[in-house]
């Protein structure tokens, strides 16, 4: 794969002249955000991935050549490619309205933006073995993101070398280009026309326009200030839990924190918050058969200042291949993080997952530093995560919030000076782990009973439940496939324990 260098900075005169062309697929002076269109009903959070592109540079000669910002492409277990946008490494725009995109093999995909209704052309051809024709199948006025514009819809049909029709998933895909605002629907042309072939993570998919920077409509890139945007009266409840063992010491920690925002001052480069904080830290540990319990309480007023975070504020998935480290590998999601009625936007920070180093040619290798995926929510802070390593785990969850008239979740209760967590109630074990045939849920004390046991697979689907009435309850897991499962043990007071179960 050839590495394309960024040639010249954006020039205003080119921007003005290029914008004047109707139905141009891309523009040189704005940022476009696209959300994956679900391909089937089983698609879940990954479908809501929001990808962005902006033009980093442009070269104008007889044609205009646009170079969009590069992102991370996971091509296989041993190769990450960092030199191309998801929409392709470059786009050539000709004066006659021909827009040419390029895939990972540098094959061209031709889009005739000025074609008439029912007009067809050869969009892609691969050594006479695969030919894809494109056609303007609809041309009408429509509305998107609150904008009304005329839109051309382009369909595709695959053929073999004899021009006999081929069954190909691209036949069911379309793109759409508006007269004044570019793509309304597009494909990740970098992988065109691959459908799950030679592609490790992102097969060819359709994306719908989710936001624009000019005009400022729809979704926008989340910034550090967006994540930490609180108003007076907002309340955030956070639950932190951890469990670890090693060298004869077993320890657990549960921290409940309630933040109520009682003051806000906005400055040119920062936001200053005054926060009423209530916090309870409960620690339990055992060493050589002895139990140790501590409780710490806070009921105070703290001050916190938010400054810009350039790393976080970068576009999702943007990278700098000139650096030995990835500059930014955030993924942005427009998904319902808590229930179906929510439509929050979040960023997931994957930077802790990968440390990129060049290995051969244009392939970069990845050293996996952890399996911790941090999540940040617009107006609700973060990071929120679940992290495990060699049987030790910790999690940080948003469990309740109040923002204006909106509330969600179950509020925490913290009574300063009164133990909110009784060690006799939370001592529960799930053994053996790993397990293959049966597991046993064992309570050291019966005070926490009755309780409920839930087991989820790694896709989040509930696979087993059990009412726990006795100090020891056996569960049969012979019907479960090998893999990692998440268990939760809950009673009327809330979570007692959660963790991972390895079924072997």
Are 329 and 211 within one domain? Answer: no
Q: What is the dihedral of CA 202, 29, 27, 36, to 10 degrees?
A: 30
CATH, residue 467: 2.60.40.3580
DSSP 440-470: EEEESSGGG-SEEEEEE-TTS-EEEEEEE-S
Considering its fold, how many domains does the chain have in total? Answer: 4
Q: How many residues does the chain have?
A: 504
Give the C-alpha distances (Å, rounded to integers) separating 346 from 224, 230, 243, 286, 438. Answer: 11, 16, 27, 38, 38
Q: Is 105 part of any domain?
A: yes
Is 69 contained in some domain?
yes
CA distances from 489 to 78, 396, 423, 500 (A): 39, 17, 15, 12
Q: Are residues 351 and 283 in the same domain?
A: no
Q: Which residues, in sequence order, are CB contacts of 191 under 8 Å at separation 6+?
A: 103, 104, 199, 202, 203, 204
Q: Mind giving me the DSSP string for 411-435?
A: -----TTS-SS-HHHH-EEEESSSB
Domain end marker among 378, 409, 440: 409
Which pLDDT score, from 0 to 100, does residue 416 have?
55
Cβ–Cβ < 8 Å for 136, 115: yes
Q: Is the pLDDT of residue 94 over 90?
A: yes
State the chain's mean pLDDT as an integer: 82
Round to whole Å and give the CA distance between 206 and 219. Answer: 17
Q: Supply the pLDDT for residue 28.
A: 81
The Cα–Cα gap between 347 and 182 comes to 25
Identify the band that residue 343 occupies on the pLDDT scale cut at 50, 70 and 90: low
pLDDT on residue 424? 39
Comparison of pLDDT for 113 and 366, the residue scoring more: 113
Same domain, 479 and 494: yes
pLDDT at 276 over 90: yes
The pair of structure tokens assigned to 282 is 């409960």
Mind listing the pLDDT tens digit for each residue in 50-70? 889 899 888 888 889 999 998
Together in a domain, 97 and 193: yes
Tell me the per-residue pLDDT of 447-476, one tens digit each, with 9 for 90 and over: 778 889 989 887 777 889 999 999 899 999
Please check whether residues 274 and 402 belong to one and the same domain. Answer: yes
Q: Burial code of 323-332, b = ≥16 C-beta within 10 A, e = fewer?
A: eeebebbbbb
- Amino acid 202: pLDDT: 57
- Beta strand segments in 28-107, E: 31-36, 49-60, 64-68, 71-76, 79-84, 91-93, 98-102
pLDDT at 43 over 50: no
C-alpha span between 292 and 281 (Å, rounded):
14
Token pair 């007692």 is found at 496
Examine residue 127 and state whether it is found in any structural domain, yes or no: no
Same domain for 209 and 304: no
For 153-178, the pLDDT digits (tens) are 999 999 998 899 999 989 999 999 99
Asked whether residue 102 falls in the same domain as residue 187, the answer is: yes
End-to-end Cα spacing for the chain:
41
Asked if residue 375 and residue 348 are part of one domain, the reply reads yes
Tell me the C-alpha distance between 284 and 113, whole Å: 66
- Is a pLDDT exceeding 50 seen at residue 2? no
**Secondary structure of the chain: what % helix, strand, coil (to 5)?**
5, 55, 40
Q: What pTM, to 2 d.p., does this model score?
A: 0.71
Neighbours of 502 (CB within 10 A): 14
Which pLDDT score is estimated for 333? 72
> What whole-number percentage of the chain has pLDDT above 90?
42
Are 302 and 257 in the same domain? yes
Q: Is 211 found in the same domain as 80?
A: yes
**Full domain range(s) for residue 40:** 12-121+180-216
Within a domain: residue 161? no
Q: Which residues contact 267 (CB under 8 A, 6 or more apart)?
A: none
pLDDT, position 494: 64
Q: If you average pLDDT over residues 234-257, what whole number do you get?
A: 88
H-helix or E-strand spanning residue 360? strand 354-360
Residue 339 lies in a domain: yes
Helix (H, G, I), strand (E, B) or coil at 257: strand
Residue 137 placed within a domain = no
For 213-248, list the strands marked E by DSSP. Answer: 217-218, 235-246
- What are the tens digits of pLDDT across the range 12-31? 333 434 444 799 999 887 89
Residues 99 and 184 both lie in one domain = yes
In a domain, 166, yes or no: no
The reply to whether 152 falls in a domain is no
Judge contact between 110 and 93, C-beta under 8 A.
no
Q: Which tokens in the block code for residue 173?
A: 């895909």
Q: What is the pLDDT of residues 344-391, one digit of tens each?
A: 688 887 665 555 677 777 777 766 555 667 889 999 999 998 888 777
**Residues 362 and 456 placed together within one structural domain of the fold:** no
């Amino acid at each position: 794969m050839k590495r394309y260098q960024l040639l010249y900075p954006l020039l205003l005169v080119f921007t003005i002249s290029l914008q004047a062309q109707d139905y141009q697929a891309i523009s040189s002076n704005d940022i476009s955000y696209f959300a994956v269109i679900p391909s089937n009903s089983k698609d879940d959070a990954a479908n809501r991935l929001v990808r962005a592109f902006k033009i980093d540079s442009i070269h104008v000669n007889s044609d205009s050549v646009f170079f969009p910002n590069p992102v991370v492409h996971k091509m296989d277990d041993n190769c990450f490619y960092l030199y191309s946008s998801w929409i392709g490494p470059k786009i050539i725009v000709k004066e006659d309205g021909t827009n040419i995109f390029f895939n990972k093999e540098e094959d061209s995909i031709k889009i005739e933006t000025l074609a008439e209704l029912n007009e067809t052309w050869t969009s892609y051809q691969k050594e006479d073995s695969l030919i894809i024709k494109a056609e303007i199948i609809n041309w009408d006025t429509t509305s998107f993101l609150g904008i009304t514009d005329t839109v051309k819809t382009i369909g595709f049909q695959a053929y073999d070398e004899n021009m006999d029709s081929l069954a190909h998933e691209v036949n069911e895909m379309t793109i759409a280009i508006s007269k004044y605002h570019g793509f309304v629907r597009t494909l990740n042309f970098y992988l065109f026309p691959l459908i799950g072939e030679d592609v490790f993570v992102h097969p060819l998919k359709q994306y719908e326009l989710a936001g624009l920077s000019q005009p400022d409509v729809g979704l926008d890139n989340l910034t550090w200030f967006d994540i930490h945007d609180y108003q007076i009266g907002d309340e955030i409840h956070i639950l932190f839990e951890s469990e670890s063992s090693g060298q004869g010491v077993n320890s657990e920690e549960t921290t409940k924190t309630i933040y109520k925002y009682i003051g806000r001052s906005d400055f040119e480069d920062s936001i200053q918050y005054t926060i009423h904080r209530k916090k309870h830290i409960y620690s339990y540990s055992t060493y050589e058969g002895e139990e140790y319990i501590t409780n710490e309480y806070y009921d105070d007023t703290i001050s916190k200042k938010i400054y810009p975070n350039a790393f976080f504020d970068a576009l999702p998935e943007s990278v700098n291949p000139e650096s030995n480290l990835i500059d930014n590998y955030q993924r942005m999601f427009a998904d319902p993080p808590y229930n179906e009625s929510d439509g929050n936007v979040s960023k997931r920070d994957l930077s802790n997952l990968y440390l990129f180093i060049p290995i051969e040619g244009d392939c970069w290798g990845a050293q996996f530093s952890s399996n911790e995926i941090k999540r940040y929510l617009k107006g609700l802070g973060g990071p929120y995560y679940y992290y495990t390593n060699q049987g030790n785990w910790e999690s940080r969850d948003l469990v309740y919030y109040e923002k204006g008239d909106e509330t969600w979740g179950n509020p925490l209760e913290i009574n300063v000076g009164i133990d909110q967590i009784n060690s006799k109630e939370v001592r529960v074990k799930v053994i053996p782990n790993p397990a293959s045939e049966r597991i046993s849920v064992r309570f050291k004390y019966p005070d926490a009973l009755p309780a409920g046991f839930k087991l989820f697979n790694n896709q989040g689907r509930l696979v087993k439940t059990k009412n726990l009435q006795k100090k020891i309850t056996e569960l049969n897991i012979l019907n479960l496939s090998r893999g990692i499962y998440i268990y939760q043990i809950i009673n009327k007071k809330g979570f007692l324990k959660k963790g991972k179960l390895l079924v072997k």
